[in-house]
Structure 1
């Protein structure tokens, strides 16, 4: 078997590649095809733990994780063989086939291409050998002429897979026809021939008003506009670039039963990671989710959440500079709920110790809301599993006894602060080595991601659940079928030929 390949390219980041690839995965899976997603290189601090070679577990970008679920496939590292996790403006941690590579992390950007390409090509070839169809997502734009020589994610992949390509533009930004034409014009003739259709995404209004532009674009390029996708707020799929979009998703209402609203403020610090795990809260009636960067935005919050961080110490410094540290402490002192997840948990403790320089200037004081100390280590904990809360106190007591699925991605281990423990100041431990509370019970820190993606947790905390992922994927596929020209999706997946 050698799978046909459909590739989604974009005129820019944020054009809609990820959601379109996800929708394609569900659509073709619904046609009875065995489908796998693929993205050669992803740059994101939103990652999931999946199966890796040798029976271990590794990391891939969240987008490919959700695409695999949409395809009804088991997520695994071949679907995103190269993941770059930004640690600073000019530095990223390199994850190859699910595992951190310190050697590759030290190499300059362009110096990695030759080293990683054989692994990328091998992962794609293996997926093609095991599936009927591979839906490939590009990155950024394929026409970044400064990067073409070292490209391992766009055109090089398209050529290797002999992929039929869609080029998508965000028409809501304006200039979409120029973006499509300019991208096409910067490609060489052979690569242009791979583009089988243009997609206009996030259109508001009457599609007939676009005429005669699509036909004029076809006359200039020979490429038809195959779909005009309407703007749809809150389709329910996490958007990696949409951290500050706090509108309720889909049909979710910000008012719950009895007119109750839970106002949840998530601190959007600079090195935020795994922000996609909060998407179910956006989909949940009775929850008003907002991302905050100032102390004033915390004024009426019921919950304050410190999310994951790729640089805990740096984000702590930012927290203090913004005046947020004091506001969080006052909220906790007044009995308000505070939740720290992963890096957020580490920040809630008394101290951070970094003897190996895992993070720049990582040693220093924490927020002091939990009597804990975190010691960073070179080894990274990456695993998924199921856990159960023990006895949970205070306003989080509804979690007592709740079993849930989740995952860990963190450097360092957290323990009771020895000096404070000697004085009798110890944290409650609802899950050994993974969750802690202050004595009053209103401050909870956990290492486990994915709490709000578990139906049992949502039921315990809110008395209701969010729409299932399957419902989200089905909605995306339905929208796709309505937007594409008749027969276009079947044409894209027809048996491949030897030429583009």
Structure 2
């Protein structure tokens, strides 16, 4: 195996693993090295469509962005196992980019030995083809109830003999206890793989941390190699949760966009570029009051369209959307949101659920057993109303959906016909203010942003370089080079 493996572990979820792994990918890529990211198992409804050995498939969004930071072509082997939660106790299992019904039905602990050969094969292939593989762990490596069935943290580290960094969120408090406790719960052979501790999201005078780093070094033999200041506006999409107004760019608000944040929201990270547009405020709406004053209402993707539609009605948000549309306000539905804007949901295969939509578009969606997973480039036809700027724009995005949507026949008989502005993918109502589209990732396309906002926003390349610059400023000199130095 040619590649050296650097692994980022965390004391908790949300400690900063994805952020740090992305920065490392760009740092090493800027050295002229062949770099690839890897995460054995990711649990997220934020996914991207990438190349696979036979067909296109899904990986977690974090590994997609890490591959771009590494200047590598995204591929399914970078995240061989993806778990997409459908309910509190059930997830759809995606193995090497493709949905696996058998694994989805298998008990959690029972599937680890089945998938482990696929994980090692994917990792070893990346090691053969690259100089550095940056591996991201999941949650904490010291979850002692899961250690015996681990396939994403220290079992991966041992297989790759990875040089590991353990990162903690010091803003939560208890950071040194988190670092020491995590280290102490690991077996001795796994402790030996921990090469450095990283304090993330620090606010204040770093000198006040003394003597804790030295005391921790005396207890563990592991140095604190970096103290990363709090940074709200780094521009990297959030992986696990919605972002709040703390990360909103300063300046006068000219446009407020409210995104409905239902329980099974998917691909929420595609809205990150909107936060970077000058004058735009992004709001996560969970109540009708959250929609008040919004210029746009966005119905995002959903991993469970029927269940999230029921939640929408229980909150009274269906009325808020209808009132907004009746006033001529702009409404955008993406994927599951598009399906909800239609009149009817038909499920003959037990995929999602039957029901009535909001009826703002005269459409009918039928859920098929086969899942559409593909990268898509398509051109908008002529649009009217607030979406007219998209007319003629060619956009790049991706599709992940079971539903297939068509004009509702009974509504067509009553002359209520949707304007199909992209064949099979996007429809607009007669008045022009409601638009539904199956393509995710529209706001990641600079052409779409320029058309809608007339603004140039920071590109992902700018974001990746900024992450690497920040990391290089706040990590002890020589540490990053030492991690990949072959003994």
**5 Å matches for 1:273-422?**
273-359=266-352, 362-422=353-413
| Deviation string, structure 1 residues 443-479 (Cα, Å, up to 9, x no partner) | 0000000110011111111011210000000000001
**5 Å matches for 1:259-274?**
261-274=254-267
Look up the match of 1:253.
Answer: 250
Question: For structure 2, which runs of at least 5 residues remain unmatched after alignment?
Answer: none
Look up the match of 2:61.
Answer: 62
What is the rounded CA distance, in whole Å, between the counterparts of 1:287 and 1:370 in structure 2?
27
| Deviation string, structure 1 residues 69-117 (Cα, Å, up to 9, x no partner) | 0000000000000000000000000000000000100001001101000
What is the rounded CA distance, in whole Å, between the counterparts of 2:161 and 2:431 in structure 1?
60
Aligned 8 A contact 2:44 2:240 in 1: no
What is the rounded CA distance, in whole Å, between the counterparts of 2:315 and 2:133 in structure 1?
45
What is the rounded CA distance, in whole Å, between the counterparts of 2:88 and 2:221 in structure 1?
40
Look up the match of 2:114.
Answer: 115
Question: 1:244: Cα distance to partner?
Answer: 3.9
Aligned 8 A contact 1:265 1:301 in 2: yes
Aligned 8 A contact 2:382 2:392 in 1: yes
Aligned 8 A contact 1:9 1:139 in 2: yes
Look up the match of 1:462.
Answer: 453
Aligned 8 A contact 1:351 1:372 in 2: yes
Aligned 8 A contact 1:227 1:485 in 2: yes
What is the rounded CA distance, in whole Å, between the counterparts of 2:192 and 2:107 in structure 1?
32
Aligned 8 A contact 1:2 1:129 in 2: yes
- Deviating beyond 2 angstroms after TM superposition, the runs of 4 or more aligned structure 1 residues are 246-249, 252-255
What is the rounded CA distance, in whole Å, between the counterparts of 1:272 and 1:341 in structure 2?
11
Range 233-242 or range 208-217, more displaced? 233-242
Question: 1:240: Cα distance to partner?
Answer: 1.8
| Deviation string, structure 1 residues 114-165 (Cα, Å, up to 9, x no partner) | 1000000000000000000000000000000000111000011000000000
Q: What TM-score results when the alignment is normalised by the length of structure 2?
A: 0.99
| Deviation string, structure 1 residues 280-313 (Cα, Å, up to 9, x no partner) | 0011101000101000111100000000000000
Aligned 8 A contact 1:254 1:288 in 2: no
Range 135-144 or range 377-386, more displaced? 377-386
What is the rounded CA distance, in whole Å, between the counterparts of 1:254 and 1:291 in structure 2?
19
SS at 2:403 equivalent: strand
Aligned 8 A contact 2:256 2:294 in 1: yes
| Deviation string, structure 1 residues 29-48 (Cα, Å, up to 9, x no partner) | 01111000000000000000
What is the rounded CA distance, in whole Å, between the counterparts of 2:466 and 2:292 in structure 1?
36
SS at 1:482 equivalent: helix
Aligned 8 A contact 2:426 2:437 in 1: yes
Look up the match of 1:11.
Answer: 11
SS at 1:458 equivalent: helix
Look up the match of 1:159.
Answer: 158
What is the rounded CA distance, in whole Å, between the counterparts of 1:486 and 1:340 in structure 2?
48
Look up the match of 1:479.
Answer: 470
What is the rounded CA distance, in whole Å, between the counterparts of 1:409 and 1:385 in structure 2?
11
Look up the match of 1:137.
Answer: 136
Aligned 8 A contact 1:246 1:291 in 2: no
SS at 1:167 equivalent: strand
Task: Kindly indicate whether residue 416 of structure 2 is the aligned counterpart of residue 425 of structure 1.
Answer: yes
Range 470-479 or range 416-425, more displaced? 416-425
SS at 2:246 equivalent: coil
Question: 1:274: Cα distance to partner?
Answer: 0.1
- Give the number of aligned pairs: 487
Question: 1:248: Cα distance to partner?
Answer: 4.3
Question: 1:246: Cα distance to partner?
Answer: 3.1
SS at 1:180 equivalent: helix
Q: What TM-score results when the alignment is normalised by the length of structure 1?
A: 0.96
Look up the match of 1:173.
Answer: 172
Aligned Cα RMSD in Å? 0.9
SS at 2:245 equivalent: coil
